[in-house]
Each structure stands twice: as C-alpha cells, then as structure tokens.
Amino acid sequence: MIPTLIVFAYLATVVYIGVFAFRHGGRSKSAEQFFVAGRQLGPLVFLLSLFGTNMTAFAILGASGFSFQNGIVTYGLMASSSALVIPLCLFLFGTRIWALGKKNGYLTPVQMYRDRWQCGDIGTVIFIVQAVLLVPYIIIGVMGGGTALAAISGGRIPYWAGGAVVAVVVMSYVFYGGMRGTAWVNTLQTALFLIFGAVAFALIGRGMGGFGEAVASLASAPETRALLTRERFTPEFFLSYTLIPLSSITFPHMSIFCLTARRMAQFKPTVMLYPICMVAVWLPSVFLGVAANHARDVPAIERKLEARARLAQPELTPEQRADLRRQAGGDDVLLVLLNHYAPVWVAGVLGAGIMAAVMASDSQILALSTMFTEDVFAYYGGKERFGEAAQVNTGRAFVVAVTAVAYLIALDAPARIFDLAVQYAFSGFAAMTPLLVGALYWRRSTRWGALAVAVWTLAAVAAIAAFQAFVPPPASGQTVVWEIGGAAALARTPGGATVFGYLPVVPMTLISGLLMWAVSLATRPPDAATVARFIPARRPRR
C-alpha cells in the first residue's frame, strides 16, 4: 500500500492547491476571474498548463495501452503529426482567439461565434454539440483514474472506487479554484509527468535487462515482429490520423486556455517548445508500451498476452470475446511494469506522475462549466436577473453535475481509452475545424454554414456510435458491411469503423468543410461591418 499512500498524498496536495487558489483570487465573484483567471497567467504557467490540459490519460495510459496492442506505429499515428499540427494551430488560430477575446471580452468560443455571425440560437446549437463531444474526453479521465489506482494498489482499490476518488478530487479543486486553481494544478502535473517519462524509461529498461535485448527479442519472434513495423495498418488508416490533431484548437478547453494568457508574446515560446514536450511524454509512453510485450516475467503481462492469444479462437461467443478483450487491454501496462521493476517508494512517486496526466480532465470540466454559465445561463438572462455571483455559483454546480455524469458513464464504458477518445471526441472536434477557419479567415462564411457544420458533426458522431453498437467487432481484420465496386465502403474493425479504409474523421472533416463552403455561398452574406471586426480588409498593394 506504500505507493497507494504516496499517490493519496499527492491527491491531497492538488486539493490544497485548489483551495489556495480560491483564497488568492478564486474568492472573487467575477466571472472573468473564475473562468479565465483574469487573463493574467504568466508565460511558464501558460505553457505548462496549456500543454498539460491536452495531455490527459489518453497520452500516458491510452498511448502505452494502444502501443502494447499495436506497436511502435502508435508514435507515428499521433505524436509525429501532433507535434507539427498543434503548434501550427496555436499560431494560426490561438493568437487570433486571444486577440479577439481580449478586445471583446469573450470567455468562450461560442461567444465569438455568436458575435461573428450574429447567431443567437445557432450559437446554442454549437454549444450543445461541443458539450456532447467533450463528455467522452472527460470520461477517459475518470476511466484513467480508476485504472491507475486499481493497478497502483494491486487491486486493493477497485476500479469504481478509484474512478470516484479521482472524480471527487478533480471536482474539488475545479470547484474552489476555477481557472486559476486548474492552471496551477496543471503546471505541477505537467512538470511531474514530463519528469516521469525519463525516470520510468530508465528504471524499467534496467529492470528488463536493457531495451536492446527487449527489441531483439520482439524482432526475432514471429508473433511480435509486426509490433516494430507499420504493417498492421494500411496507408489510408495511417494517414487518417494526420487530421486528428486538428481537434486540439477546436476543443473548448484549449480555446478557453488561449484566453488566459497575459500577453500575446507568450504564444511564441509555447509554439516553439510544444514539440519538445510532445516527445518527452509520448516517446517513453509508446516505447514502454511496446517493450511490455517482452516482459513475460511479469505475471500480469503474461495473463494479458495469454488473453490476447485466446482472442484468435473463432468459436468464442461475443460475451467471451468482450471479456477477453478487457483482460488483454493494455491501459495499465505502465503501472504494472512500475510495480514490478521499480522500488516501492519510486513506484509511488511515478504513480503520482501518471495520476497527474490522468487528472488533466479538470480543464474539460471547467470548460463545460464556463460554456454553460456564459452561453446558456448568462445569454438567456440569468446573469442580469440573479447577478454575477449567482453565475459563478451556477458554474460550480455544473462542475458537480458534469463530474457525476462522467463517472456514471465511465463505470461501464465499453471502449478502451485510446479508442474512445479517437472515435468520438477527437473525430468530432476535428470535424468542427471549418467553424474556426470560417470565423477567423473567410469573410463570406455565414451562420447557416456554421449550423450545417454543427448539425452534420453531431449526426455523424451519433451514426458512428449506433453503427458500433449494432455491429460487433471482429476478432481480427474487418467485417465489411457495405461494398462498392469491390471496395469496402463501410467496415467494422476491432477498434471502430472505417470508410473506404479511412477513419471516419476523414469524411467527417471533408464534408464539414464542403458544407461550410456550399451553404455559406447559398445564403445571405454577413454584414460587412461585423466581418471587418474579425477579418480586416486587405490593404491594396502600392
């Protein structure tokens, strides 16, 4: 229980930080103070908190679990493209969001959309879509907390209790500290899991007898050789992941974090250092996940590998296959390796580092609270009727409600962390990118184009969920549901669905862009004076 006690001491520390933030600025009844920290975050806190809020359980537990199943290609799927696309999005969109928010007092992206297209109820539709898409991302934080505490405690703390503990801790410091407390906690947590990667890499590598031996062993065995290549994924599947990082800037919590910077100059070091931070987190997570396939001396790993081998048996019932898939899941492999190879107290400290990444869902919860109070409560007259203090208290109540809903869903979530995030949250928000492009860069875009994008995205995500609910996943390969000209137009895979071999994010994003373009051209253009406030006219060349 020593590692567990160390982790609980860390959890108590972050709760105290939230209370401390409440006493030093969080007491303010100002919505701007509670939701965007008065737009006064300094350069270091801005960098670490912005990066940390994007590196949740998905980046530590999800990445290592996915690489345990699929190999080193996981790094190419997500980390390589993200290290390029996310900084570019911060430069192109984040700086403009900050400037417009500073000038017009925006606290949420929906406020910007409403002002840009003069759309009241359409803005509410956009809020609903963003809220629905953000819930799966919050759920993976609770899932990660339950998985992490169960593994760290050796099963003494069950999954449901671990998820509850993390949910209550996150809810507490967000409730009290608001954006200031969330940013301070994220700064500490980001520093912890940046350090965690290097230390865990060294300790586990030494315990395994060296990574050279592990890689040589995997390369020599026919059943694991593919883990060191890209051969398990088609080029179409691989390329699909280049669109996933577009979701980063359309995530409401990322857009809202862009509003917290004290000066625009703070974006420069953030854009420059973001790729380095990506390497520091993703490289050890992915490599350790792959190397776990070599750790057959670890009983828990051996049981996972046996369950994976049994999944290939064709006579299994759907219930047996689902149970084996859960047993073979790799979301906890990092913690299993730490418990086996690291000294007890070190495993506890590093376990706290993993918990730090898991609890980065705090920003998503605060973002949902911010949007509800600003885009619904305040917009429809609640602030004028009851005052700004009531608005902040409504935001706190919404924090409690969202956390409770996410916890209840996480208790019986059918998918793994990586798959859940990619299929719903990332794909949905990537498909919302044309909203941001149209609002900030295309003068001809209209409210009806924005509405078309929002409705299409929600419908597409709902269709994916229904498809995967009614078509069971195959043991391997794919089940072709619809074929056109000999090509698999729609297929079910163990990880989700594909459309002509591509992940759904590709047609979703392309059709969103087409809808924004076609519907905007077919409807009345916005007022020129309004557009000029967002996209200044180009000066003629002399």
Q: What is the per-residue pLDDT across 385-418, written as a single tens digit (0 to 9) for each?
A: 887 778 778 877 887 888 888 788 777 765 565 5
**How many domains are there within the chain?**
1
Tokens of 128: 């609903």
Q: How confident is the model at residue 21 (pLDDT cuts 50, 70, 90)?
A: low
229's tokens: 């290549």
Evaluate whether residue 35 is within a structural domain: no
Question: pLDDT digits over 96-121, tens only?
Answer: 999 999 889 888 899 999 999 988 88
Query: Which pLDDT score, from 0 to 100, does residue 57 have?
Result: 66
> Between the ranges 4-8, 323-327, 344-348, 452-456, where is the mean pLDDT highest?
452-456
Q: Give the confidence band of 359 by pLDDT, cuts at 50, 70, 90.
A: low
- The pLDDT of residue 513 is 96
Q: How many CA atoms lie within 13 A of 378 on its CB side?
A: 22
Q: What is the mean pLDDT of residues 365-392?
A: 82
Q: What is the pLDDT of residue 24?
A: 60
Cα distances (angstroms) measured from residue 452 to each of 447, 449, 481:
9, 5, 27
Query: In the prediction, which pLDDT does 22 show?
Result: 61
Residue 377 lies in a domain: yes
Q: When comparing pLDDT for 504 and 176, which is higher?
A: 504
**CB-CB neighbours of 414 under 10 Å:** 12
| Each residue's pLDDT tens digit, 198-230 | 777 787 878 777 778 888 888 888 888 888 888
Which band of pLDDT confidence, cut at 50, 70 and 90, is reported for residue 435?
Answer: very high
Average pLDDT over residues 76-80: 85
* pLDDT value at 26 more than 60: no
Domain that holds residue 170: 2-21+41-394
The residue among 308, 41, 315, 73 whose CA lies nearest residue 187 is 41
Q: Average pLDDT for residues 10-27, to the nearest whole number? A: 69
pLDDT band at 23 (very low <50, low <70, confident <90, very high): low
| 58 within domain boundaries | yes
State percent of the chain over pLDDT 90.
18
With b for 16 or more beta-carbon neighbours within 10 A and e for fewer, the 442-464 pattern comes to beebbbbbbbbbbebbbebbeeb
Measured distance CA(125)–CA(110) in Å, rounded: 10
Would you say residue 93 lies in a domain?
yes
> Which pLDDT band, with edges at 50, 70 and 90, does 460 fall under?
very high
pLDDT at position 300 is 86
Residue 509 has pLDDT above 90, yes or no: yes
Q: What is the pLDDT of residue 90?
A: 92
Instruction: Read off the pLDDT of residues 133-176 as tens digits, 9 standing for 90 and up.
Output: 888 777 777 777 777 788 777 778 888 888 888 788 877 777 77
pLDDT, mean of residues 72-81: 87
Q: 163 lies in a domain?
A: yes
- How far from 78 is each of 63, 174, 282, 430, CA to CA, in Å? 9, 29, 9, 14
We report the CATH number of the domain holding residue 84 as: 1.20.1730.10
The arithmetic mean of pLDDT across residues 505-525, rounded, is 95
Give the pLDDT confidence of 242-291 residue by residue, as tens digits: 998 898 899 888 888 888 888 888 899 989 998 988 888 888 888 888 98
In a domain, 288, yes or no: yes
State pLDDT tens for residues 182-198: 777 777 777 777 777 67
Q: In this structure, what token pair is assigned to residue 176?
A: 């009290």
**Are 402 and 369 in contact, with CB atoms under 8 Å apart?**
yes
Q: Is 475 contained in some domain? A: no
| Residue 484, phi then psi, degrees to nearest 5 | -130, 120
**Is the alpha carbon torsion for 237, 88, 125, 36 positive or negative?**
positive
Residue 518 forms part of a structural domain: no
Q: What is the pLDDT of residue 237?
A: 86
Q: For strands 487-493 and 479-484, give the pairing.
A: antiparallel
More confident call, 476 vs 246: 246
Burial of 43 by CB count in 10 Å (0-12 exposed, 13-18 middle, 19+ buried)?
middle
Mean pLDDT of all residues belonging to the chain: 82
